[in-house]
Structure 1
């Protein structure tokens, strides 16, 4: 799961930052990876189970 450094984010934006992060991370994926991520999300119930942004935020790994 991505971990935001809230020290770098204004208090006014700390609630929306994880949403934007999840959406940004999903837009950085290759088409086939995003398709697989969406398929996995739909398999577990899609938006009835977890919002798309949260699924992305919790399941995309960023490795350095």
Structure 2
């Protein structure tokens, strides 16, 4: 079974806002759909914030080695 790491980043500055590790391939959709709830706001004050529904985030998937 392949496992994945999701990395949620601010689209403005690239700051990592949250990660999810050991995500099974069949759960990637669930993680992607809920990632905005975990974003909070960018600590650098960028536009990445869930409070105004301007998510302005990028979700990167990386396959975990040895999985």
Say yes or no: TM over 0.5.
no
TM-score under structure 1 length normalisation: 0.32
TM-score under structure 2 length normalisation: 0.31
Higher strand content, 1 or 2: 2
Higher helix content, 1 or 2: 1
